[in-house]
Chains A and B, each alone.
Chain A
Amino acid sequence: MSEGLSFHFDVDGDSFTSAGQASVQVKKDLRRLGVDPEIIRRVSIAMYEGEINMVIHAHGGHAEVRVTEQAVEIILEDRGPGIADIEQAMQAGFSTAPDAIRSLGFGAGMGLPNMKRYTDHMDIQSTVGVGTRITMRVDLPQ
């Protein structure tokens, strides 16, 4: 699989209940490919946090996962409100989630820090009023 494999998902911004489905599917796909369970867990958690963010902060979006012999790469793209201050958003505990979201179990301000922690590389491109693009990479043992 030197060319790599890629998976595409539309993340529905209107359904909190189905949020996370893309991550569940990726977890299954990576298992089928025989990827190390610890790597799968890191990829799944990072992607799940990103997917939830797209649903609760950005009215949904699009996810792409690429698997090569070197790494698993996750690209999350949305046309939501964008993030004004990325450095602030990356701080553990920072959240703009309203009470309605907190009562659903999200809004601790831990999602982006978790995504950073579980991946080997993470990059956020965001423009207010345009959207957000997050790229994450988890390296595979060589």
Chain B
Amino acid sequence: MKISTIRELLGATVVTGEDKLGEHVYAACGSDMMSDVLAFVKDQAVLLTGLVNTQVVRTAEMMDMRCVVFVRDKQPTPDIVRLARESGIVVLATGRRMYEACGILYSSGLVGNKVKEPAV
């Protein structure tokens, strides 16, 4: 699924990484606990989280994730944005709650850790 599609589906704003919205992600993971995220390794994934600190970006970077979506209208701090820019990670922010955001992406074909390209 294209990151631009995720943005549209979630009505999200682009915090950083406008130039990378055309990239694809093939898996998704939603959690506020970073070690739960780190237990899940898949290529080119998106991380949905309600946790707002720099370790979210570090976790995404360690896992070669492409995109982080902050849910529940959480606003990433300037140091989060700076780290994300440095490591080339797209940051989106949505007013959706975690459950809704995951549900919307899942039902649109981004099913957890399976590599499947939806017909969007």
Q: Are A and B interaction partners?
A: yes
Which A residues contact B (CB, under 8 angstroms)? 16-17, 19-20, 23-24, 27, 37, 41, 44-45, 48-49, 52, 102, 104-111, 113-114, 117-118
Give bound CA distance, A106 to B55, whole Å: 10
Residues of the A chain whose Cβ atoms lie less than 8 Å from the Cβ of B38: 45, 48-49, 110-111, 114
Minimum distance in angstroms from B60 CB to a CB of chain A = 11
Pairwise interchain contact A20-B55, C-beta atoms closer than 8 A: yes
For A17, what are the chain B residues with a Cβ–Cβ distance below 8 Å?
Answer: 53-54, 79
Measured CB to CB, the closest approach of chain A to B73, in angstroms, equals 18
> Is B33 on the interface with A (CB-CB < 8 A)?
yes
Q: Which residues of chain A are near B56, meaning CB under 8 Å?
A: 105
**Interface size grouping (class) on chain B:** 20 to 34
Closest Cβ of chain B to A120, distance in Å, is: 15
* Set of chain A residues within 8 Å of B63, measured between Cβ atoms: 41, 45
Which 8 residue pairs of A and B lie closest in terms of their CB atoms, listed nearest first?
A: A110-B35, A20-B58, A108-B33, A105-B51, A105-B34, A44-B62, A108-B35, A48-B62
- Chain B: minimal CB distance from A118 (Å): 8
Contact of B62 among A23, A104, A110 (CB under 8 A): A23
Write out the residue numbers on chain A whose beta carbons fall within 8 Å of the beta carbon of B87. 24
Q: Quick one: CB contact mask for B5-42 with A, threshold 8 Å, 1 for yes? A: 00000000000000000000000000011111011010
Give complex CA distance A41, B55 in Å: 16
Given A24-B58, A114-B39, decide whether A105 and B64 contact each other with a Cβ distance below 8 A. no
State in angstroms the CA–CA spacing of A44 and B62 once bound together. 6
- Name 5 interchain pairs, CB-CB below 8 A, sorted by A: A23-B58, A23-B62, A24-B58, A108-B33, A114-B39
- In the complex, chain B residues 36-80 whose Cβ is within 8 Å of any chain A Cβ: 36, 38-39, 41, 49, 51, 53-56, 58-59, 61-64, 79
B61 / chain A contacts, CB cutoff of 8 Å: 24, 27
Closest B residue to A95 by CB, please name it.
B35
A104 and B39 form a contact (CB under 8 A): no
- Write the nearest CB–CB distance from B55 to chain A, whole angstroms: 6
Give the complex CA separation of A102 and B34 in angstroms: 10
CA of A27 to CA of B58, assembled, Å: 11
